[in-house]
Amino acid sequence: MADLRCNFAGIESPNPFWLASAPPTDKYYNVERAFKAGWGGVVWKTVGEPIVNVSSRYGAVEHNGSRMAGFTNIELISDRPVEANLREIKQIKREWPDRALVVSLMVPCDEESWKTILADVEDTEADGIELNFGCPHGMSERGMGSAVGQVPDYVEMVAAWCKKHTRMPVIVKLTPNITDIRYPARAARKGNADAVSLINTLASIIGVDLDTMAPEPIVNGKGTHGGFCGPAVKPVALRMVGDLARDPECRGMAISGIGGISTWRDAAEFISLGAGTVQVCTAAMHRGFKIVEDMVDGLSNWMDEKGYRTLSDFQGAAVGNYVEWGELDMNYEIVARIDQDLCIKCGLCHVTCEDTSHQSISALRIDGERRYEVIDEECVGCNLCMYVCPVDGCITMEPVDNGKPYVTWADDPRNPANRVQAAE
């Protein structure tokens, strides 16, 4: 059986599945239940000067009958006194020493505030701290959260203060509400942070109630933008994690992957793009803590099947294959193949190819029977038909052996720049 233990920037945990800083980790009662369910670690709900939340607080996107395909919140940091949080953190860490316990923090942007709280957190014997520079709603209006995370200079400054005033590993939680994720990450590195975690939520309006004409979630007729998360944001998160994993200037910094992780497979994808641990929130808020059983079990079974003994055996294995467009092979060719025995004649491959661009799947009637066939010469190998086909394995993309070498755009004769050179 695979070994799922991990050491993340010096923080040990029995598996890479941590609960992200959020309502499920805001007190002893929840966290104890999470540890009993099997979570490898938790990042405690952001501690700071207690706030007051509004109601309502959440909104959700339902897609094709699937609830909470995307989720949003307008909650702030912990609404409980700092002392209560610290007391419970200390207690739970003492009772569950093998689990990772990281404390998320958010205090005003001055060195004294950070210095004070760091000393208090150290006293709990927590394993590390996570700087909440990500929260895009509410707290950012008060000059904290993403208001800090969006300014690389501030990220570096606060990370440096924390490193100066504590022996605990420092994780900087990054906001995705920025043009290039590498800049705040590099700033964290310059501030000597041990790790980054990403992504925090995306600033968003989840929907508009067309009866009351108010953005959701609605608080007495008004709405504010919230933080979007859940399965829908996973692709955004994967890309940002990948960008940092391959960035030479971020090298050496551990990455905790966050964003729409609902299953062991999601987690494996993040780890393959360089993450050392993953953090989960929406999936646990949707179905409860028990989901971790399958995450642990599924990841372990998959690793056994693939022959990976430890997480490091495949951590970052996909990073080298994540390249810029200009490094792709211009000569690679694939063509759609339809397995006529599996085809159920829904015609979606035809109509989407027809209406999208390529007109490369013909709709035929042979003795009255529908038949859909690929016109090889027209097929550009875009994959669309494979994705719209509702039957697994019915449409596959088959490589064409054209005998041509790997050529990037820079070297491609079709590149106008090369044509000019040839003419000279």
Partner 1 sequence: MAAQPDIATGRLSQPEYARNFGDIEPPLTPQQAPIEASRCYFCYDAPCIEACPTGIDIPSFIHKIASDNIRGAALDILQANIFGGACARVCPTEELCEEVCVRTAQEGKPVNIGLLQRYATDRFFEGGEQPFERAAPTGRRIAVVGAGPAGMSCAHGLARLGHEVTVYEARDKAGGLNEYGIAAYKMIDDFAQRELDFILAVGGITLEPNRALGADISLAGLRRDYDAVFLATGQAGVKALEIEGQSLGGVRPAIDYIAELRQAGDLSALPVGRRIVVIGGGNTAIDIAVQTKRLGAEDVTICYRRGPDEMGATWHEQEVAQTSGVKIKHWVRPVRLHGENGHVSGIELEYTTLGDDGRLAGAGDTAILPADSVFTAIGQVLIADPLAEGSSELLDLRDGRIAVDEELQTSLPGVFAGGDCIDGLDLTVQAVEDGKIAARAIDRLLSR
Q: Does 351 bind partner 1 (CB under 8 A)?
A: yes
Task: Assess 350 for contact with partner 1 (CB under 8 A).
Answer: yes
Alpha carbons 173 and 241: distance in angstroms, whole number: 12
Contact between 65 and partner 1 by CB under 8 A: the answer reads yes
The closest alpha carbon to 181, from 143, 148, 149, belongs to 149
Out of 6, 109, 135, 353, pick the active-site residue: 135
- How far, in Å, CA of 111 to CA of 265, rounded? 41
Q: Does 390 interact with partner 1 (rule: CB under 8 A)? A: yes
Contact 306, 263 (CB under 8 A): no
Respond yes or no on whether the N-terminal peptide bond of residue 199 is cis (omega within 30° of 0): yes
Interface with partner 1 includes 281 (CB under 8 A)?
no
- Least CB distance from residue 131 to partner 1, whole Å? 42
Is there binding between residue 346 and partner 1 (CB under 8 A)?
yes
3-state secondary structure of 83: helix
Binder among 280, 348, 374, 385 for partner 1 (CB under 8 A) = 348
Site string for partner 1, 294-333 (x = CB under 8 A): ----------------------------------------
Residue 109 a catalytic site member: no
> Two tokens at 311?
């997480």
Positive or negative: CA dihedral 6, 9, 11, 17: negative
Q: Which one of residues 37, 219, 330, 363 is an interface residue with partner 1 (CB under 8 A)? A: 363
Question: Which of 119/391 has CB closer to partner 1?
Answer: 391
Closer by beta carbon to partner 1, 252 or else 390 = 390
Q: How far is the CB of 351 from partner 1 (least distance, A)?
A: 4
Burial tier of 380 (Cβ tally within 10 Å: 0-12, 13-18, 19+): middle
At 356, phi and psi to the nearest 5? -85, -55
Give the binding range for partner 1 (CB under 8 A) out of 18-26, 84-92, 211-219, 347-355. 347-355
Residue 400 and residue 81: Cα distance in Å, rounded? 64
Active-site annotation, residues: 135
Which residues are near partner 1 by CB under 8 A? 64-65, 344-348, 350-351, 363, 370, 390-391
